[in-house]
Amino acid sequence: MLPQKLTMALNDQFNNELQASHSYTAMAAYFSKKGYHGFANFYLIQSREEHQHAMKFYDYLVTMDEKPVLQALGEPKNDYVNAMDVLQSSLAQEKDVTSNIYALVTLADELQEHSTLSFLDWFIEEQMEEEKMFRDIIARMAHIEEGGEYFLKMNDDFAERRLEN
């Protein structure tokens, strides 16, 4: 069993990951409506990845003889100005997740919960990759026109993206 404060924080992150999944689905819907199905696919994959992350927290809580507690999800942002707005929102969301993971690491360290620290290592690496990915996509998008040739090439590339296990 874990200290109650840590269990609550892990449950909060379990739900934060579900909320991130929910938000990425809304972003996919934005692109689907515009006919950019490759970008929609990219975001649907992001949504599934976030759900997998949530389930890692679920499994860890169960392993530690704690109960995963689902909370209400908030309505995600559904309206965006353009593709860049979606991407910048994505990066902001990932930065929030990173901040939450760091807070969990700090709490686990203070409580000397070494198993939790070990569990969270994977998430630190994952967040570094996620933030870099969105920074790189934003850098590419900064120099192109939405709907233009290179944008459509990116759309085609994102259509090929598959969920990794």
The CATH number covering residue 59 comes to: 1.20.1260.10
Does 50 appear as a known binding residue? yes
**Pairwise CA distance, residues 93 & 75, whole Å:** 14
Total domains in the fold of the chain: 1
Digit-coded pLDDT (tens) for 39-52: 999 999 999 999 99
d(CA 79, CA 26): 9
Q: Is 130 assigned a ligand-binding role in the annotation?
A: no
- Residue 63 has a pLDDT of 98
Enumerate residues 6+ apart whose C-beta is below 8 A from 21.
47, 48, 50, 51, 54
| Within a domain: 165 | no
Query: What pLDDT is stored for residue 162 in this prediction?
Result: 86
pLDDT along the chain (165 residues), means of 10: 97 98 98 97 97 98 98 97 97 97 98 98 97 97 93 93 79
| Predicted model pTM | 0.94
Spatial separation of the C-alpha atoms in residues 109 and 78, rounded to whole Å: 37
Does 53 carry a binding-site annotation? yes
**SS3 state of residue 18:** helix
Q: What residue numbers bound the domain in which 106 lies?
A: 4-69+79-159
- The answer to whether 17 is annotated as binding is yes
